[in-house]
Structure 1
């Protein structure tokens, strides 16, 4: 089965499961008595904004459970009330609740609410010891599964850290992290942004505007810094751009003085475009570039990665926008399916393609560059 057909099959299965759960709740909440006729399948398809085949599969699940019965030529009727289930609880552990992850959390909560599940949120505050403590607290609160963003960038051996998660007593899904050196039978499910695709989109856009000397304001020891840096270097070589080592710099944290010095290097070395791993560093660069007499975007075009606060820059920043809400929703749907259907559900690995939002820092006016091709690849382990 191809990746795309496997994804389509999985999506259909998730949708029918969610519609079936919605019908169970509706039968219980509205206290439909035995013998009550359900709305027609076309009406249900309209109500839940899904296809007719999805509704048929969902109703079929209720038939198999003895909750409804189909009567040829008459319709579908309630045959028995569903048991009152305990509300599922998803534990969510992120490194921060103030940057990058709020929209991921929104996606998780949206998918959980649609399935009648609850969410317990915790933050590790980018600390390994607190990550372990918060994981224990979530388990002590009786969560049925975990959505985790582990601090792999802070460990001496990230794969050992991931392998330790296999011993968790509940199913889990990683978000924006993946096993770095997985064994062929690694059971880890994850949902991530295809970061390299976003970097290439940014670099290709700058090159299309005529920039050949493109600098890099990078970060060290973040969860994605190695991926972003590697993609920048690969894009520079693949697009035939001129490497400028003095303008390709990484820091754990960038101070205002360091950004000022970097802007001076761009001015003095003829760097006309810069890719920044982070909106805040990019916004600082805009201010210091102008103080040095550089016009943005005429003398220096800037593209940021994250698109958290990019639109509020002066001028507004062109930015790579990871599909954060979709990342969260997909992870929650993965986890809920595993919780409801058990350990026989195969592991899933999903990459979603980010998009490039073109704004004034590259001379644009808020258009999306390229197509919004979200699903990059899906594989399943058996």
Structure 2
């Protein structure tokens, strides 16, 4: 005799409430019904607010065990780990990760770290695995090398089914992720700091050599173009690609070539001759993103007879290793660790059961002055 629907759903609720997150396939085996039937039951129970669903997983509305939340907040459950998903070999975001880790560990929250390889669509299977393993919250910084790859992630990430906070990423306005909690550096303000610092030293002709393979890079490029074009004291500016491998990669990008980018594919892009560019435009200053590219370009300038800061003032953007060069570089320093801490605190707020409006937090970068930029003493830089 077939089991009544309501009784089967009561059994599902009992299992989920006693064990925490349970795979739909495991529920189907235990109840001796099809996965399709259990999935339909879970959807109805979730719609009624009696449980939560994710990718192939059913979760209780409130986790069964609890530990105190930080700063005297409401309790958060201890039924599963928080998944942290960041790109592999990404030193910029690792400091963000450590900031988040500090907050979560102080709150007694278990952490599961997932490192996304550089292949396309790498984050989605990791998130699905984390959810299947019972992750009850998600902190994620997708690589998003191109606009196209970013938009491919919108729908599935919006449907993760657990509290989720984006770190150092700001989705396109009006997209399905627009209403997702996020904590991000204000890179427009960071770019503004760099330009204003150079202008205050008398520089009127400025070059931006920047990457184009991350949301931060694209924001810095767009912000520089906007700020420089509108600044009454900037006479000439241009945006170029800082490195041949600093492009989004093969395949559709969702946008045309970046302004100032050399033509051709990645393998055919020549290294930037920054010294020649400075001479050709009469530029006396450069903003360089990111740090490693900045140090390499400063070395090449020296090889071409252009000394920093005597002949060209430089401000780097990222401040991961800018201080370690033979010429320590003045740099814009996004608050990486603070981004992670703020994102983790926001996630804990959601895990406590707090609803309220979506939060899109921006934290201001700072300028670390180290002497690679100085007041202008000539109109054009020394020729090679």
Query: Normalization by structure 2: what TM-score?
Result: 0.68
Aligned pair 1:328/2:320, yes or no? no
Equivalent residue in structure 2 for 1:242, among 235, 241, 251: 235
2:78–2:109 contact (8 Å) kept in structure 1:
no
Specify whether residues 90 and 244 from structure 1 end up closer, same or farther in structure 2 by C-alpha distance, changes over 3 A only. Answer: same
Aligned to 2:360: 349
Aligned to 1:219: 211
Deviations 1:112-148 (A, max 9, x none): 0121112111121333332112112211222110011
Shift of 1:184: 9.6
Shift of 1:260: 5.8
Aligned to 1:169: 161
Matched residues in 2 for 1:95 and 1:104: separation?
A: 12
Instruction: Tell me the matched-pair count.
Output: 288
2:184–2:361 contact (8 Å) kept in structure 1:
yes
In structure 2, list runs of 5 or more residues that go unmatched.
1-65, 247-266, 376-384
Deviations 1:58-90 (A, max 9, x none): 6xx79xxxxxxxxxxxxxxxxxxxxx9636521
Specify whether residues 359 and 350 from structure 1 end up closer, same or farther in structure 2 by C-alpha distance, changes over 3 A only. Answer: same
Matched residues in 1 for 2:274 and 2:296: separation?
A: 11
Shift of 1:157: 6.7
Query: Normalization by structure 1: what TM-score?
Result: 0.68
Secondary structure of the structure 2 residue equivalent to 1:93: strand
Aligned to 1:293: 305
Specify whether residues 268 and 85 from structure 1 end up closer, same or farther in structure 2 by C-alpha distance, changes over 3 A only. Answer: closer
Matched residues in 1 for 2:198 and 2:87: separation?
A: 31
Shift of 1:234: 1.4
Specify whether residues 185 and 143 from structure 1 end up closer, same or farther in structure 2 by C-alpha distance, changes over 3 A only. Answer: closer
Specify whether residues 259 and 164 from structure 1 end up closer, same or farther in structure 2 by C-alpha distance, changes over 3 A only. Answer: same
Report 1:57-76 matches (<5 A). Answer: none
Aligned alpha-carbon RMSD (Å): 2.9
Aligned pair 1:112/2:100, yes or no? no
Aligned pair 1:141/2:133, yes or no? yes
Deviations 1:281-330 (A, max 9, x none): 11011111112211210111111110000010121011110000110011
Specify whether residues 249 and 242 from structure 1 end up closer, same or farther in structure 2 by C-alpha distance, changes over 3 A only. Answer: farther
1:301–1:361 contact (8 Å) kept in structure 2:
yes
In structure 1, list runs of 5 or more residues that go unmatched.
1-20, 26-47, 49-53, 63-83, 365-382
2:158–2:177 contact (8 Å) kept in structure 1:
no
Aligned to 1:40: none
Equivalent residue in structure 1 for 2:81, among 59, 83, 89: 89
Shift of 1:98: 3.8
Matched residues in 2 for 1:359 and 1:121: separation?
A: 35
Specify whether residues 117 and 88 from structure 1 end up closer, same or farther in structure 2 by C-alpha distance, changes over 3 A only. Answer: farther
Secondary structure of the structure 1 residue equivalent to 2:135: coil
Matched residues in 2 for 1:183 and 1:248: separation?
A: 29
Equivalent residue in structure 2 for 1:196, among 185, 188, 201: 188
Aligned pair 1:359/2:370, yes or no? yes
Matched residues in 2 for 1:323 and 1:158: separation?
A: 23
Aligned to 1:282: 294
1:220–1:252 contact (8 Å) kept in structure 2:
no
Shift of 1:252: 5.2
Matched residues in 2 for 1:151 and 1:299: separation?
A: 36
Deviations 1:152-194 (A, max 9, x none): 3435274452232221121101111122032699531100000
Matched residues in 2 for 1:141 and 1:185: separation?
A: 24
Equivalent residue in structure 1 for 2:93, among 97, 101, 124: 101
